[in-house]
Amino acid sequence: MTANLLIVGTGLIGTSIGLALRGQADVVLADSDDAAVSAAVARGAGRLWNGNEPVAHALLAVPPREVAREFARLHPLGRARTYSHVASTQGAVQQAVETSVGDLRQFCGSHPMAGRELAGPQAAAADLFEGRPWALCPSPQTLPQTVAATRLIAKLCGAEPLVLTPEEHDESVALVSHLPQVTASALAATLLGRAQQDAAPVRLAGPGLQDTTRVAASDPDLWVDVLSSNAAAVAPLVRALAQELAAAADRLDELAAGPADSSSARSAQALSDLLRRGNEGRRLVPVKAGKHDRDFVLVQVGVPDRPGQLAGVLVSAADAGVNVEDVRVEHLVGRPRGVIELLVHATALARARAALSAAGWDVLG
């Protein structure tokens, strides 16, 4: 008997792939952590692999730094015809495999653009990959049948396979994931540095600081690994941002020092240009399903800060058939009143406002 797929590593991603393939493929599972593989089997992600059973394809869902070692261990045993991995950086992993094994014909890098802040088989979900891009990053050596096997897994998981070179992939995640992480961490670190001199200013913080620093709470150990393995792609972006900010600091210095003349007008113009480019860049950020900010509008509702208000507002919206794409609660520090912001499609705005007002809510604006 030949299983269709061996998944090595039953964390969040490996177990989710097993769950997604349930009923579509015969999946066997392995993990160096017995508890993890038992949990994945118990959740129905596949059967326990006995270590000998041959498989059509082996998917290595282990941390980036372990992929090459795992491939070097499994490849000589000849249990699988083709191999893939799902690590969040591609170039460094491919290089490590090239160094340790050399032969990349049966090996294809890939990266499903999915995940969550939770980890482990318990957090896995069968629909984690549905509709999500799944980067396929074959090397020039990788055989077509190896790419085809990897693509099939992505398709069976409901994802949209997308062929990129490892370099293209690493450049992409450097921009949309790794740069924002470094930015938020550096901003929060700057806040810390100032607050150590004087803690008073932080009392005045509002939602702008909240949002901009949110991902600064991420796990440092995980992120040192991610940044280290993608350092070449992240470095120039961080440097470009540093230069943008250094230029802004120069313009601010000029405005602080100079009289209101044509030179200060040029400095103000440069800041205005930065803010406008920021507007434009922000409009590129997808909100949902390939849609962007410009398709959505905010409805703001003022509510007293008591349990159940948010639920009440959303029940009223649901009653009117309005799909709330996103919701934000702005708690003003120390105030007994909040503003609930509902993001709705522009075409639903009038209906949403009318329905909420009719239900007695304080619709603002």
Q: Looking at residues 252 to 311 of the shown chain, list those that interact with a copy of itself (rule: CB under 8 A).
A: 252-253, 255-256, 268, 271-272, 274-290, 293, 300, 302, 306-308, 310-311
Q: How far is the CB of 158 from a copy of itself (least distance, A)?
A: 9
Burial 249-273 (b: 16+ CB within 10 A, else e): eebeebbeeeeeeeebeebeebeee
- The three-point CA angle 290-291-295 to 5° equals 170
Site for a copy of itself in 77-136 (CB under 8 A): 113-114, 116-118, 122-123, 125, 127-133, 135
Min dist. Cβ of residue 245 to a copy of itself (A): 4
CA distance 156 to 142: 21
> Binding string to a copy of itself for residues 51 to 80, with x set by CB under 8 A, is what?
------------------------------
- Of the listed pieces 2-10, 35-43, 138-146, 217-225, which binds a copy of itself according to CB under 8 A? 217-225
> What residues does 327 pair with on adjacent strands?
342
Residue 58 near residue 29, CB atoms below 8 Å = no
Of the candidates 48, 56, 143, 237, which one interacts with a copy of itself according to CB under 8 A? 237
Task: Identify the CA nearest to 78 among candidates 102, 51, 39, 100.
Answer: 51
Q: At what angle do helices 144-156 and 12-21 cross, to 10 degrees?
A: 80
Question: 145 or 177: whose CB is closer to a copy of itself?
Answer: 177
- Of 28-36, 71-79, 144-152, 200-208: span binding a copy of itself (CB under 8 A): 200-208
Position 341, amino acid: E
- Beta carbon nearer to a copy of itself, 148 or 163: 163
Q: Which stretch binds a copy of itself (CB under 8 A): 22-30, 46-54, 102-110, 191-199?
A: 191-199
Q: Is residue 350 part of the contact set for a copy of itself (CB under 8 A)?
A: no
Stretch near a copy of itself under the rule CB under 8 A, chosen from 33-41, 97-105, 146-154, 167-175: 167-175
Distances (CA, A) of 42 to 4, 139, 236: 19, 36, 45
CA distances from 266 to 191, 244, 270, 274 (A): 29, 16, 6, 12
- Both tokens of residue 128? 């984690």
Options 156, 209, 297, 303; binder of a copy of itself; rule CB under 8 A = 209
